[in-house]
């Protein structure tokens, strides 16, 4: 089936926690303050310096292809500048290539591109031809160089790249754990700079800033056409300084001026709640410089108030952060054993747990999902593979590499993969992830939307190239999720914008947390295998209860989801899709109907089909048929909503 459309994603920006870059970044602070190459100055191009770092530090030297980097970079030049046309007759094997700027054209040789230095030199040669001939002043020369250099690095791996000065500054703030600001979550809604929510206890909250307030002016400057990054730069500032903003609020005849005194806004990476019975819940959002100290203080505070029997460590949605924080946090729970092994070429360096850092000997359940990456996977892997606790949830992202930050000469930085890491047992999780001991999959069921298949059964090839693994959960629980997922990011309230009381209520209604509590209560041991064995009966009861709820919900919709004590036998299906080819405009709704007929001799139970497409609009949609007797036909329809901001393209399903 072919569907013509395209999706350009809209990004929401969080001012309180700027997460544009640090997600999926895994750093070693021991390497973070990079050495300065001799001879660099403010007028030196970043490209040659970048190539020198790549030649010296990149983890996989044989994978470096200078010609491919050149082709990638100059193709990006063409996409960035409307006046430029680049032609490689035979790609990276071309003996030469041509560059046209307006009505002028020049041919460049490729025969002398044999290493990184010559590739960088060739790009600079092209720059000297192109830049003086451009009519447009935007983008600037340095922005073009950032874009081209970043694209060259993409031939190495998905995580190496250039960090522009503005983003690098925000990243530094993120890892430090605090900044001077107002304490608001902002985003662009309907083209307006809008307050999604003020953060409780911050300057913005105290002066009365409210959700959905539109910021129309910052100091003397209108916010019309102001980028989110630019707005953040103007709203942040030193503690004690004043910023004046003008707010348009529904019900007010004209914008209202607020003078707000900036204060230190702490980016809380650790939050904890006492769940009773000696069980505490700890959420780690990411791994900053202060995460270890915050977690250790949290454990000590709870220990003062009573015996800690169990810990629920929530790493869901945690994208990673600093390597040393992940290592030392794992240390809090391990008496001995390997936490992680760093691999550079043929050299392996294990990091061992230090007995003196051992702080907690109770039962541990770790919560993970597909958004748990990098440093999160280090902690989850160390706890699971050292038999220290049970991991539940969904298979993690699968990022098993370490990036180093190299300061460049103009405020920008190079993010370069310099090592791989292995979890205990020398297990690589790159593109595989960590498999939980207990898989948990929410089932969202209605006529309009269905999400019921575990990730392992989903046909989608993940964008991060996730590989197949033979490692499967010991148990799998599907549960009925009564709250439909938020399909529009603008409608979702960020967790940082919720009050502590609201966050606690959310945790108390969290199915993952409920399962974790039952495992801790059922176990007398803090060893993983024993915990799983002792909780086996409880896990089965929970699974059976949820299966019954799911079956009853399907029955209300008219789908027979029963098994009748039987398992699917061998059979064959005839499948028809209507219509076969769809054409749609931006903003349209497309309805696709699938009809299946059981042409075999055996009854098929719990039949479900899932779409597969490179376009996320059409990917992962479910058609549910349930029980299908021999000779029986059933239909199911799914509606796809085409966003208004799409461009033309053709997709297959």
CA 538 to chain centroid: 32
Give me the residues of the chain with pLDDT under 70, please: 1-44, 356-358, 447-470, 484-494, 496-497, 565-570, 580-582, 647-653
Let me know whether 202 and 245 are in one domain.
Answer: yes
pLDDT score recorded for residue 40:
34
Let me know whether 131 and 78 are in one domain.
Answer: yes
Written as six digits, the tokens of 315 are: 């790493």
Residues forming the active site: 374, 399, 403
Let me know whether 257 and 146 are in one domain.
Answer: no
Distance CA 485, CA 134 (A): 47
Sign of CA dihedral 295, 297, 298, 304: positive
In a domain, 57, yes or no: yes
Let me know whether 142 and 200 are in one domain.
Answer: no
What does the pLDDT look like over 28-82, one tens digit per residue? 443 333 334 433 333 448 999 999 999 999 999 999 999 999 999 999 999 999 9
Distance CA 167, CA 160 (A): 15
In the chain, the number of structural domains is 3
Could you tell me the CA-to-CA distances from 94 to 89, 98, 109, 155 in Å, in that order? 6, 10, 9, 18
Distance CA 479, CA 547 (A): 7
In a domain, 313, yes or no: no
Q: Which residues make beta-bridge pairs with 146?
A: none
Looking at 207, 238, 266, which one is the last position of a domain? 266
pLDDT score recorded for residue 642:
81
Full 3-state SS string of 563-591: CCCCCCCCCCEEEEEECCEEECCCCCEEE
Terminal CA-CA length for the chain: 5
Let me know whether 195 and 145 are in one domain.
Answer: no
pLDDT score recorded for residue 4:
32
The beta strands (E) that lie in 369-499 are given as 390-393, 401-407, 413-422, 438-445, 450-451, 475-480
pLDDT score recorded for residue 468:
56
**Degrees to nearest 5, angle at CA 101 with 162 and 104:** 145
pLDDT score recorded for residue 35:
39
Could you tell me the CA-to-CA distances from 432 to 168, 399, 467, 479, 631 in Å, in that order? 29, 8, 5, 24, 40
In a domain, 259, yes or no: yes
Q: What is the DSSP string of 75-97?
A: HHHHHH-TTEEEE-TTGGG-SEE
Let me know whether 151 and 182 are in one domain.
Answer: no
Looking at 217, 244, 266, which one is the last position of a domain? 266
In a domain, 426, yes or no: no
In a domain, 583, yes or no: yes
Domain span at residue 249?
178-266
Looking at 237, 266, 295, which one is the last position of a domain? 266
In a domain, 643, yes or no: yes
Distance CA 422, CA 405 (A): 21
Let me know whether 153 and 24 are in one domain.
Answer: yes
Q: At 636, which CATH number?
A: 2.60.40
The residues, any chain, with a CB within 8 Å of residue 298's CB and separated by 6 or more, are 270, 272, 282
pLDDT score recorded for residue 452:
60
Q: At 213, which CATH number?
A: 2.30.42.10
Pairing of strands 475-480, 438-445: parallel
Let me know whether 121 and 182 are in one domain.
Answer: no
Let me know whether 152 and 250 are in one domain.
Answer: no
Distance CA 366, CA 372 (A): 11
Q: How many helices (H) and strands (E) does the chain have?
A: 15, 34
In a domain, 332, yes or no: no
Let me know whether 97 and 182 are in one domain.
Answer: no
Let me know whether 78 and 132 are in one domain.
Answer: yes
Neighbours of 71 (CB within 10 A): 24
pLDDT score recorded for residue 31:
39
Say how many CA atoms lie within 13 Å of 19 toward its Cβ.
Answer: 23
Written as six digits, the tokens of 175 are: 């890892």
**Degrees to nearest 5, angle at CA 124 with 121 and 128:** 140
In a domain, 112, yes or no: yes
Let me know whether 579 and 625 are in one domain.
Answer: yes
pLDDT score recorded for residue 467:
53
The residues, any chain, with a CB within 8 Å of residue 38's CB and separated by 6 or more, are none
599 φ, ψ (degrees, to nearest 5) = -95, 5
């Amino acid at each position: 089936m072919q569907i013509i459309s395209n999706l350009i994603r809209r990004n929401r920006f969080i001012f309180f926690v700027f997460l544009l870059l640090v997600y999926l970044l895994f750093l070693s602070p021991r390497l973070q303050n990079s050495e300065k190459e001799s001879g660099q100055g403010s007028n030196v191009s970043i490209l040659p310096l970048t190539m020198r770092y790549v030649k010296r530090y990149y983890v996989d030297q044989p994978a470096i292809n200078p010609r491919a980097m050149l082709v990638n970079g100059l193709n990006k030049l063409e996409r960035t500048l409307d006046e430029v046309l680049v032609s490689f007759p035979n790609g990276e094997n071309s003996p030469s290539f041509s560059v046209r700027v307006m009505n002028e054209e020049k041919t460049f040789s490729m025969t002398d591109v044999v290493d990184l230095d010559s590739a960088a030199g060739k790009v600079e040669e092209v720059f000297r031809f192109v830049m003086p001939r451009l009519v447009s002043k935007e983008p600037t020369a340095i922005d073009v160089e950032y874009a081209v250099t970043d694209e060259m690095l993409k031939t190495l791996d998905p995580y190496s790249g250039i960090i522009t000065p503005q983003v690098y500054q925000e990243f530094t703030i993120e890892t430090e754990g605090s900044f001077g600001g107002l304490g608001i979550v902002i985003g662009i809604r309907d083209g307006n700079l809008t307050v999604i929510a003020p953060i409780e206890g911050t300057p913005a909250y105290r002066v009365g800033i409210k959700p959905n307030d539109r910021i129309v002016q910052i100091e003397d400057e209108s916010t019309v056409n102001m980028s989110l990054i630019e707005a953040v730069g103007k709203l942040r500032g030193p503690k004690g300084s004043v910023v004046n903003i003008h707010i348009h609020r529904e019900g007010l005849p004209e914008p209202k001026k607020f003078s707000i005194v900036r204060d230190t806004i702490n980016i809380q990476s650790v939050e904890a709640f006492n769940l009773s019975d000696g069980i505490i819940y700890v959420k780690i959002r990411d791994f900053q410089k202060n995460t270890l100290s915050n977690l250790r203080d949290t454990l000590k505070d709870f220990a003062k108030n009573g015996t800690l029997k169990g810990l629920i460590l929530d790493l869901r949605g945690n994208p990673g952060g600093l390597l040393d924080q992940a290592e030392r946090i794992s240390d809090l729970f391990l008496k001995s054993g390997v936490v992680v092994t760093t691999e550079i070429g043929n050299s392996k360096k294990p990091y061992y747990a230090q007995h003196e850092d051992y702080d907690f000997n109770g039962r541990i359940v770790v919560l993970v999902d597909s958004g748990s990456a990098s440093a999160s996977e280090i902690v989850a892997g160390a706890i699971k593979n050292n038999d220290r606790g049970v991991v539940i949830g969904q298979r993690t992202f699968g990022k098993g590499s370490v990036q180093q930050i190299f300061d460049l000469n103009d405020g920008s930085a190079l993010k370069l993969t310099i090592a791989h890491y292995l979890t205990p047992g020398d297990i690589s999780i790159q593109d595989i992830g960590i498999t939980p001991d207990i898989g948990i999959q929410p089932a969202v069921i209605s006529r309009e939307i269905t999400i019921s298949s575990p990730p392992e059964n989903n046909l989608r090839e993940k964008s991060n190239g996730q590989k197949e693994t033979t490692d499967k959960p010991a148990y799998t629980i599907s549960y009925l999720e009564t709250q439909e997922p938020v399909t529009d990011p603008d409608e979702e309230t960020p967790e940082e914008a919720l009050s502590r009381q609201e966050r606690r209520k959310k945790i108390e209604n969290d199915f993952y947390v409920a399962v974790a509590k039952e495992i801790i209560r059922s176990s007398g041991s803090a060893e993983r295998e024993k915990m799983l064995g002792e909780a086996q009966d409880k896990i089965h009861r929970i699974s059976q209860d949820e299966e019954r709820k799911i079956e009853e919900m399907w029955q209300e919709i008219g789908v027979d989801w029963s098994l009748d004590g039987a398992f699917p036998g061998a059979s064959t299906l005839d499948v028809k899709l209507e219509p076969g080819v769809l054409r749609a405009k931006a903003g349209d709704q497309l309805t696709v109907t699938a009809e299946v007929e059981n042409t075999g001799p055996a009854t098929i139970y719990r039949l479900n089909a899932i779409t597969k497409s490179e376009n996320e609009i059409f990917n992962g949609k479910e058609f549910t048929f349930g029980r299908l007797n021999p000779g029986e036909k059933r239909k199911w329809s799914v509606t796809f909503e085409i966003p208004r901001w799409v461009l033309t393209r053709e997709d297959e399903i």
